[in-house]
Copies of this chain bind each other. A is one copy, B any other.
Amino acid sequence: MTSMVSSTTDLTGQMIIAGSMVRGTGDEVRGFDPTAGSELEPTYRYGDPSHVDAACAAAAEAFDGYRSVPAERRAAFLESIAENIEAIRDDLVARAVSETGLPEARLTGEVGRTTGQLRMFAGVLREGSFNGARIDPALPDREPLPRPDIRQRAIALGPVAVFGASNFPLAFSVAGGDTASALAAGCPVVVKAHDAHPGTSELVGRAVSDAVRAAGLPAGTFSLLYGSGPELGIALVTDPRIKAVGFTGSRAAGTALVAAAAARPEPIPVYAEMSSINPVFLLAEALANRAADIGRAFVGSLTMGSGQFCTNPGLVIAVDSPDLDTFIAAARDELVQATPAAMLTPTIAENYRSGVDALVAHADLIARGAATDAPVACPAALFSTDARSFLSSRELQAEVFGASSLIVRCTDVAEMRAVAAGIEGQLTVTVHADDADIDDARQLLPTLELKAGRILFNGWPTGVEVGHAMVHGGPYPATSDSRTTSVGSRAIERFLRPVCYQDVPGALLPSAIADGNPDKIWRRVDGNLTQD
């Protein structure tokens, strides 16, 4: 470990381990500008097992100190991360544009989402319900046996490994939702940067690390490593000091992490957000009333960000009809005009191309987007098939990450329900329905509830609100743990567990469950919610 983190935004090409800049020893990795088709300086190098060990040792050492920091101080720390990110916004957006090919406006918005998430969790900490405080007061006169004094609160699980996502270089990367919620919970975080944006990762990592130092928190509260998923990533997940994992990425990588975590001597939870084709059900009256509008809006959602969203609408289900043909015609006209933008990385572009090629063999091609000279741009694609083919084909149900979608023509509403019943777990399902469709929608809804974490009507699944009621999650394989959400205030719960305190002397009780409610938080006393 060579030097302290500087406060400039000149990139160093180094990792950050517990506040120190450390040069990797392994393979070289550089940012890649997918628009220009050229590599970016500086050169980063992968970490080795000694770096994983150092980061995890520091995180474990930091844990007791960090988790015992009062909620207000942890809230201020999250806010200072947000401020540090805002202080480098222009440099950060410029670097992220270079590394991802995403538009400046999108990335400026993503900075806002990232800092907004950090501030939301600061609010969660101040509100205090995250403590899960419960008190069952002693009943010394109860017969046949007295009841002891029993209290409950939530504590942090321990150091958390976070994997940066390619498609949200800010909001689901180094200081994104997983990091923010884990830090809020009181967990030190070790991030594995995504190779797709190493410079963006360093800039944000330094913003976090500077905030750790300025707040006087243990240095091991945050580290940032570079490395390959199968090597450094697995080493991180299997390190015995890591107690939970946050991941957004492919199904193959996610299931590998889940398997590695399950095979540990002490298995740990993995929150992997992996795969979703986000079905859209078009009901008859909605199509009759506004087929062309829905078709155009559908393509807008499909091609947004080159389709590189977890919630991209990759499947459309409707009864075959002239109205569906109107929808398809409008979608086709919109799609062939869509300007193809660069994809995030050459690998993602290549996977998209082979995914589309595979669909060509199994479904009918309706339209391709315009071709382009951009080196890693991929034209959108729209296919159709019938319900029976869809239900019997694994290929047609696989996620194609990018702006490709498949329309499933059904013979009737009953077959639409059969398609709903036949799909795997999803992050979202969407229904377009007008008043006369309500009965059909009502019959569909119980199946949709079992298939997705979020059900939306008359909108599009891209665009995930960060709030209290959001669920960004869903049954396997959308995620590895359907009981949680990775977006929104409830994400903090992923990194907490309850502890019960029975007849613990008042002098030793944490403030969340102390007599007199010094934190003025909501608590469940004898089963009843109260702020008293």
Closest chain-B Cβ to A242's Cβ sits at a distance in Å of 13
Q: Give residues 80-120 of A contacting B (CB, 8 Å).
A: none
Q: Give residues 138-168 of A contacting B (CB, 8 Å).
A: 145, 147-148, 150-152, 155, 157-158
Say if the beta carbon of A1 comes within 8 Å of chain B: no
Using known A-B contacts A469-B134, A469-B152, determine if residue A500 contacts B433 with beta carbons closer than 8 Å.
no
CA distance A262 to B261 in the complex (A): 10
Closest chain-B Cβ to A469's Cβ sits at a distance in Å of 4
A528 to chain B: closest residue by CB: B127
A154 to chain B: closest residue by CB: B483
Q: Give residues 466-499 of A contacting B (CB, 8 Å).
A: 467-471, 473, 475-477, 480-485, 489-490, 496-499
Using known A-B contacts A64-B446, A266-B476, determine if residue A471 contacts B458 with beta carbons closer than 8 Å.
no
Say if the beta carbon of A297 comes within 8 Å of chain B: no
Say if the beta carbon of A529 comes within 8 Å of chain B: yes
Give the oligomeric copy count: 2
Closest chain-B Cβ to A280's Cβ sits at a distance in Å of 13
Using known A-B contacts A489-B527, A505-B438, A529-B522, determine if residue A454 contacts B68 with beta carbons closer than 8 Å.
no
A499 to chain B: closest residue by CB: B449
Say if the beta carbon of A291 comes within 8 Å of chain B: no
Asked whether, in the complex, the Cβ of B151 is within 8 Å of the Cβ of A469, the reply is yes
Closest chain-B Cβ to A407's Cβ sits at a distance in Å of 22
Using known A-B contacts A453-B498, A455-B499, A498-B490, determine if residue A529 contacts B473 with beta carbons closer than 8 Å.
no
Say if the beta carbon of A253 comes within 8 Å of chain B: no
Asked whether, in the complex, the Cβ of B485 is within 8 Å of the Cβ of A498, the reply is yes
A259 to chain B: closest residue by CB: B262
Using known A-B contacts A129-B529, A155-B449, A445-B508, determine if residue A136 contacts B467 with beta carbons closer than 8 Å.
yes
Asked whether, in the complex, the Cβ of B468 is within 8 Å of the Cβ of A136, the reply is yes
Say if the beta carbon of A267 comes within 8 Å of chain B: yes
Asked whether, in the complex, the Cβ of A465 is within 8 Å of the Cβ of B269, the reply is no
CA distance A438 to B507 in the complex (A): 8
| A148 cross-chain contacts in B, Cβ below 8 A | 456, 459, 465
| A152 cross-chain contacts in B, Cβ below 8 A | 468-471, 490
| A500 cross-chain contacts in B, Cβ below 8 A | 453-455, 469-471, 485
CA distance A484 to B497 in the complex (A): 7
Asked whether, in the complex, the Cβ of A499 is within 8 Å of the Cβ of B468, the reply is no
CA distance A452 to B500 in the complex (A): 9
A450 to chain B: closest residue by CB: B158
Residue of A438, A450, A529 with most partner-chain B CB within 10 A: A450
Say if the beta carbon of A524 comes within 8 Å of chain B: yes
| A445 cross-chain contacts in B, Cβ below 8 A | 508
A522 to chain B: closest residue by CB: B529
Asked whether, in the complex, the Cβ of A527 is within 8 Å of the Cβ of B480, the reply is no
| A471 cross-chain contacts in B, Cβ below 8 A | 152, 498-500
Asked whether, in the complex, the Cβ of A458 is within 8 Å of the Cβ of B498, the reply is no
CA distance A522 to B433 in the complex (A): 30
| A145 cross-chain contacts in B, Cβ below 8 A | 463
Asked whether, in the complex, the Cβ of B465 is within 8 Å of the Cβ of A503, the reply is no
Q: Give residues 256-300 of A contacting B (CB, 8 Å).
A: 258-259, 262, 266-267, 269
CA distance A449 to B505 in the complex (A): 15
| A455 cross-chain contacts in B, Cβ below 8 A | 499-502, 504
| A441 cross-chain contacts in B, Cβ below 8 A | 505, 508
Asked whether, in the complex, the Cβ of B136 is within 8 Å of the Cβ of A267, the reply is no
Closest chain-B Cβ to A325's Cβ sits at a distance in Å of 27
Partner of A502, one of B457, B475, B502, B529: B457
| A504 cross-chain contacts in B, Cβ below 8 A | 455-457
| A123 cross-chain contacts in B, Cβ below 8 A | 527
Asked whether, in the complex, the Cβ of B468 is within 8 Å of the Cβ of A502, the reply is no
Asked whether, in the complex, the Cβ of B452 is within 8 Å of the Cβ of A503, the reply is no
| A454 cross-chain contacts in B, Cβ below 8 A | 499-502
In the complex, besides A442-B507, A457-B503, 4 extra interface pairs with C-beta distance below 8 angstroms are: A152-B471, A438-B507, A459-B503, A483-B498
> A residues engaging B (CB < 8 A)?
64, 68, 123, 127, 129, 134-136, 145, 147-148, 150-152, 155, 157-158, 258-259, 262, 266-267, 269, 425, 433, 438, 441-442, 445-446, 449-450, 452-459, 463, 465, 467-471, 473, 475-477, 480-485, 489-490, 496-505, 507-508, 522, 524, 526-527, 529
Q: 20 A-B contacts, Cβ less than 8 Å apart?
A: A123-B527, A134-B469, A150-B465, A150-B469, A150-B470, A152-B471, A262-B267, A441-B505, A449-B499, A453-B499, A453-B500, A456-B501, A456-B502, A468-B526, A468-B527, A469-B524, A470-B500, A471-B498, A482-B497, A485-B498
